[in-house]
Amino acid sequence: MHEVECLWQARTQLGEGPVWVPDLDSLLFVDIDGARLLSWRRGDARRKEWAVAEARCWLIERADGDGFLAGLRSRIVHLRLDESGPSVVSEWARPEAGLPGNRFNDAKADAHGRVWAGSMDNAEKAVSGSLYRIEGHEVLRVDHPYGIANGPAISPDGRTLYHTDTAARTVYAFDCSPDGELSAKREHVRFEGDDGYPDGMCCDAEGGLWVAHWGAGRLSRFLPDGRLERRIALPASQVTSCAFGGEQLDELFVTTARRGRDDEPLAGSLFRLRPGVRGLPPARFGKPPSQETPT
């Protein structure tokens, strides 16, 4: 049995994108529908939230220490965060300027400093989403189409990238080369029956893949060969994503949504559990200054 602790009844409409920030001893996450950025600090359980003019869909620390790379509804930006809240430093790219109905949805960085980010039709009708690789200022579409692109996750050895089409109820696996080329796309896990829909996910240090079940109120851990290893029930049905954090990376934080679930007291809350395995250190975007190629 796993004890599931409610850390914050944040009442997020669509809580998503949890990311552990070691230097802040904090978990950051977003409320996409509610246009909020939220922070929970581990040492003193301090909670902060900021209303934002344009929905934040994901954010990833920059390796140079200067804030974050963030996916807003329609653009990728350099973002800084201080006590007064987030501020956009500069715009990075608008890879879907020709698709005004689309928005970004979820992203992860890998150990090489690349970011993998997905998009989707905000109305959840058109199959117009894509998977992008962001490396430096280059944004390259590497796979499409998706109904709801979700939950990139990278195996500990970096050789496998997992990506989900929530609408198709399928988690895919790709072979990933050291230079970021994807190949051998295959079905890794398919949700059926009362499984709900696969949403956000992350890998642990042993190669297990943790997947949030939208509509089914649980997390599942799958082994590298796709076999189900365990299920953990949560007191909210719309489970959206998960991320490891804490000093030892042995705490698993879970976001949820209250969209369509106003009757559930804990819908939209932030939860924590200790699953008995450790996560991977959170990867950052770009290379630290010491690794940059001199010009």
* Alpha carbons 86 and 274: distance in angstroms, whole number: 30
CA 220-152-29 angle, 5° bins: 80
Among 110, 121, 199, 204, the one annotated catalytic: 199
Count Cβ atoms below 10 Å from residue 247 Cβ, excluding itself.
10
Query: What are the average pLDDT values for consecutive 10-residue runs of the chain, which has 295 residues?
Result: 91 97 97 97 96 93 97 96 94 95 96 97 97 95 97 97 98 97 98 98 98 98 98 98 98 97 96 97 86 52
Read off the pTM: 0.95
The full set of domain ranges for the chain reads 5-286
The whole-number pLDDT of residue 59 equals 96
143, 163 in Cβ contact below 8 A?
Answer: yes
Mention every residue, 6+ apart, whose C-beta is less than 8 A from residue 139. Answer: 76, 92, 93, 95, 132, 133
Q: Which residues, other chains included, contact 83 with Cβ-Cβ below 8 Å and sequence gap of 6+?
A: none
Nearest of 106, 144, 126 to residue 14 by alpha carbon: 106
Residue 106: per-residue pLDDT: 94
The per-residue pLDDT for 291 is 60
Number of Cβ atoms within 10 Å of the Cβ of 274 = 14
pLDDT of residue 295: 46
Known catalytic residue at 199? yes
pLDDT given at position 2? 77
Q: What is the CATH number of domain 5-286?
A: 2.120.10.30
